[in-house]
Amino acid sequence: MQIGNTQIVDTFAEAFGMVYTRLMITAFDDHWLRAATNEVSGYGSSVIACDAEVGVERLLSPEETPDGRPGASVLAFGFSADALAKAITKRVGQCVMTCASTAVFDGLPDAEKRMPLGKSLRYFGDGFQKSKVIDGTRYWRIPVMDGEFFCVESLGIEKGVAGGNIIFQAVDQSTALTAARQAVEAIAPLANVIAPFPGGVARSGSKVGSKYKSLMASTSDTNCPTLRGRVESQVVEGAHCVLEIVLDGASEQAVAEGMKTAMHAAAIEGVLVISAGNYGGKLGKFHFHLKDLV
């Protein structure tokens, strides 16, 4: 299989079932919105070590937000509802409530399963906090030094899919970075999917386990160009840079669409091979075969 001159390996990406929530964050203008989203999604690349996988789903115009201000939809994924609730309460409290002018609304208002947010953060108001019910939804007004932090009482939680991926091999770093940026920019407008790694791209792909017993994951040595000749390498002749795009989504369809979009955008001149990471189908129940996405 090929897309242009890029070979598509007949393999599959292996993904996992997770739970996710959607925050709708608004702010006075784009500057403060960007400050809030950068903070809340920081250290949110992989639950191998992070408390959640977090990223901006898409930006929202003032016409799309409840308070008529610039906004962003942020998706966050975790292995359990309890773990996700703990992570997001801390992230919003430390990264959004602290950011001037922000407010937080629920991006999954119809979800039956809920987790507390303003219900927990209200105590920062030290007794001066006030609640307000608007169209059947409770919000908390927490006094802060620039006025009030307006925060929804709870967020919806739904089942999602995390770990869809493509891995591409390029003739050099410049080509790989160009392909990576094009792929991430192509998936940016898509709903229900995020690429949580820095700039949407992971250069440190991992395998399960390590020679060191304390580590649950270690470098994907078969995809490291500098280890070609020392391991059973998957890096093809002529490739000197390998990058990975990992995708989390609200559904199998969202992840598949993201992978397909990223794969076609990354298949530029100088990208020799596109493949995907899996664990033999033994760990994740969601399998995305590249042949079905071409």
* pLDDT score recorded for residue 127: 98
Q: 154 has which bridge partners?
A: 116
Q: What is the pLDDT at residue 293? A: 94
Structure tokens at 49: 């070590």
| Structural domains of the chain sorted by starting position, each given as residue range(s) with its CATH number in brackets | 2-14+161-293 (3.30.70.520), 18-158 (3.30.70.520)
Please give the pLDDT value at position 281: 86
Per-residue pLDDT, 279: 86
What is the C-alpha separation between 140 and 133, in angstroms, rounded? 9
Mean pLDDT, the chain, as a whole number? 97
Query: Which pLDDT tens digit goes with each residue over 72-104?
Result: 999 999 999 999 999 999 999 999 999 999 999
Q: What pLDDT does 156 receive?
A: 98
pLDDT at 276: 97
Q: How far apart are CA 190 and CA 20, in angstroms?
A: 17
Nearest to 40 by CA among 108, 98, 117, 85: 98
pLDDT < 50: residue spans in the chain: none
DSSP state of 230: T
pLDDT per residue over 153-177, tens digit each? Answer: 999 999 999 999 999 999 999 999 9
